[in-house]
Amino acid sequence: MAADTPRLRDRLAEAAAGAAQDVPGVAFLRPGVVDLLRTRVADRAPRLAAGPPARAQGVRVSRDEATGAWHIDIRLVLHRGHRALDVTRAVHTATLAAVRAAPSVSVRVTVTGVV
């Protein structure tokens, strides 16, 4: 794995999170179990001044080592009154536009709830 792959992964996650949160109808990004556990552990650990930045919750970025393709999974909760299909399409389009500089990216959007 290249040395800058973790940095690229974090940049992709931040760009995807920002793009998704800006779409009308998105209430918030839904953290997964791993994100929730990571947050609970981080809350109990002493903070380091120069520590790594917080990870984008609700967004998981992975890379297929065989093909080099990036996969972005976004989990979100909708505001009531918005059609899930319209919002997921808009999030998909906005995310691809936000990460257009990265080669070979696929995006999957999952709606986990409505508020």
Q: What is the pLDDT of residues 4-58, one digit of tens each?
A: 688 999 999 999 999 999 999 999 999 855 444 445 555 666 655 444 555 688 9
52 falls within a domain: no
Q: Tally Cβ neighbours within 10 Å of residue 50.
A: 4
Residue 108 DSSP one-character state:
E
φ and ψ at 53, to 5 degrees? -65, 160
Range of the domain at 102: 25-42+58-114
88 in a domain, yes or no?
yes
Q: What is the CATH number of the domain that holds 108?
A: 3.30.70
* Residue 54: Cβ-neighbour burial (10 angstroms; 0-12, 13-18, 19+): exposed
The verdict on residue 48 lying in a domain is no
Q: Is residue 18 part of a domain?
A: no
Which amino acid, 35?
D
Number of domains in the chain: 1
Is residue 13, in this structure, part of any structural domain at all? Answer: no
- Select from 104, 43, 111 the least CA-distant residue to 76: 111
Q: Report in angstroms the alpha-carbon separations of 63 from 39, 66, 100.
A: 23, 9, 16
What average pLDDT is seen over the chain?
Answer: 84
7 within a domain of the structure (yes/no): no
Query: What is the distance between the alpha carbons of residues 21 and 76, in angstroms, rounded to a whole number?
Result: 9
Confidence of residue 81 (pLDDT cuts 50, 70, 90): very high
Residue 8 domain flag:
no
Answer whether residue 1 shows pLDDT above 50.
no
